[in-house]
Chains A and B, each alone.
Chain A
Amino acid sequence: MSNPDSQTHIEVRNLNFSRSGRPIFRDLSLSVERGKITAIMGPSGTGKTTLLKLIGGQLQPDSGQILLDDLDVHKLNRKWLFHLRARMGMLFQSGALFTDMSVFENVAFPLRVHTDLDDELVRDLVLMKLNAVGLRGAAELMPSELSGGMARRAALARAIALDPDILMYDEPFAGQDPIAMGVLIKLIRQLNQALGHTSIIVSHDINETLSIADYVYLIADGALLTQGTPDELVNQEDPQVRQFLHGEADGPVPFHFPAPDLATQLLGGGQ
């Protein structure tokens, strides 16, 4: 079924998706290379997180395909989809640690569910994963006792518990202080090199993401704006790409939300 020799690990083909009648993606196509860090960037509200949920089979597209090793994610039945997800790890924006379990139990959870390992081995594996993210000492803490950065690292340890083939990061740098951000950048790069999994980072933190990505897709208005290596992107002349990468307030993406003319509105009364 799968073809591990192929360079393309995930392929999105002509994806169309809309929510409450509003189109999120229009005929989007992109591919993610095996073992590389691929970044998907774009302004807020362009549906980057939605794309991860579509890849994970949590949402159904209106049309188009998402292939994982030539396997159509949305054609699988529930049972196979859950099998497939055991090979994927996802770091949610909020961390999404299970609040009724300790950090240790959170990381142990996927191991207990998907393997028959005895408690001793689970303990060793969990401690190794926690050590990898620097939280071995926090194993017995509850999620509510962790800082934002620690929660995200604990969630990362849980995401890598089963050594997944694909690791998806949803806004990993959002709301992190510079130290936590630095730690996360280092961890994502190190884990990718050590474990050799395919990583997808969805983010709008430009500098951090460009510093670790091998390849970048820039999405705007539901379609692909541009793609390339970080260097290629930085040197692009396209005004919309430049506006996004350089954080300019006004440009092709307007500063103002669509509204009637200010003078007309002020003089015309009403709303």
Chain B
Amino acid sequence: MIDQLQRIGRGTLDRLAATGRSGQMLLQSLFVPPAPKEMLPLLIKQLHFVGVLSLVIIFVSGLFIGMVLGLQGYTILVDYGSEQAVGQMVALSLVRELAPVVTALLFAGRAGSAVTAEIGLMKATEQLASYEMIGVDPMRRIIAPRLWAGFISLPLLTMIFAVVGIWGGSLVAVDWLGIYSGSFWANMQASVDFSTDVLNGIVKSLVFGFVVIWIAVFQGYDAVPTSEGISKATTRTVVYSSLAVLGLDFILTAMMFGEI
């Protein structure tokens, strides 16, 4: 009994300490004097790594999810004779929910895990210590560019996901199932509101981007520098990010659309 209490206590203390360390890391890496000449090339490289290289998976997933939405929507709506509303259903589900959430989950799996593993390996091979000993702050050199790159990339990827998804939906609904394209697009245009739907979706993706990349970077930086430690850190990144995204999605949705 006492042992169990002790374990719970130690676990809680460890988690609190880790949260403190992650906050400290965030402050140390974000609030640094700007040095565009030094930072810009590093940021561009990371944007390529976490953003551009995630494009294929985002594109393909967006396309298939849009196509499935179009097909499912059609089979349900056709019973009520309202198959013209497929465009509206596809666009709203994508812009409000699926694009931010699925992109964030895919991003955590593709880019988040890679960032954790990379930083964890840099720690294990003493590269981070080496930066410190050369007199270069790894927070600025390694952590900050990755944080900013994730924060910038995810909203952009989310937008691409939504656009490709809508295109996928139109491919199925209009080109395959023969819904009149005029009503498909007009319904969509009439029902999707820029500020309540599109902007809220972007706000979600900004929050998810921040949380996912923060978790990824911190797990790498705080990893036990052994192969087992890095593998655990990578797993934690994907699990914690996914849970955080799904939990935050509910909270944000309640805040944004709760009063309806």
Residues of chain A having any CB pair with chain B under 8 Å: 53, 56, 58, 78, 82-86, 88-90, 92-94, 96-99, 109-110, 113-114, 158
Contact = CB atoms under 8 A, between A and B. Distances in A.
Please list the 7 inter-chain residue pairs (A to B) with the smallest Cβ-Cβ separation, ordered nearest first.
Answer: A96-B126, A96-B130, A86-B135, A85-B135, A82-B135, A92-B126, A90-B133
Contacts of B126: 92-94, 96
Interface in B123-137: 125-127, 129-130, 132-137
Given A96-B125, A96-B127, A113 B134 contact: yes
A113 B132 contact: no
A226 to B, nearest CB: 29
Interface size class of B (residues with CB under 8 A): 10 to 19
A113 B130 contact: no
Given A58-B132, A78-B137, 11 more contacts: A83-B135, A84-B135, A85-B132, A86-B135, A90-B130, A90-B133, A96-B126, A96-B127, A97-B127, A99-B122, A99-B125
B127 A99 contact: yes
A245 to B, nearest CB: 29
Contacts of B135: 82-86, 110, 113-114
Contacts of B127: 96-99
Tell me which of A96, A97, A109 has the highest count of chain B C-beta atoms within 10 A of its own C-beta: A96
A96 B136 CA distance: 14
Contact of A58 (B125, B133, B134, B137): B133
Interface of B: 122, 125-127, 129-130, 132-137
- Residue of B126, B132, B134 most packed against chain A (CB within 10 A): B134
Contacts of A84: 135
Contacts of A97: 127
Contacts of A92: 126, 129-130
A172 to B, nearest CB: 14
Contacts of A53: 129
A137 B129 CA distance: 27
A158 B18 CA distance: 34
Nearest to A109: B134
B65 to A, nearest CB: 34
Contacts of A93: 126
A244 B132 CA distance: 33
A53 B122 CA distance: 17
Nearest to B124: A94
Contacts of B125: 94, 96, 99
B129 A98 contact: no
A82 B129 contact: no
B130 A58 contact: no
6 contacts: A58-B129, A58-B132, A99-B127, A109-B134, A110-B134, A158-B134
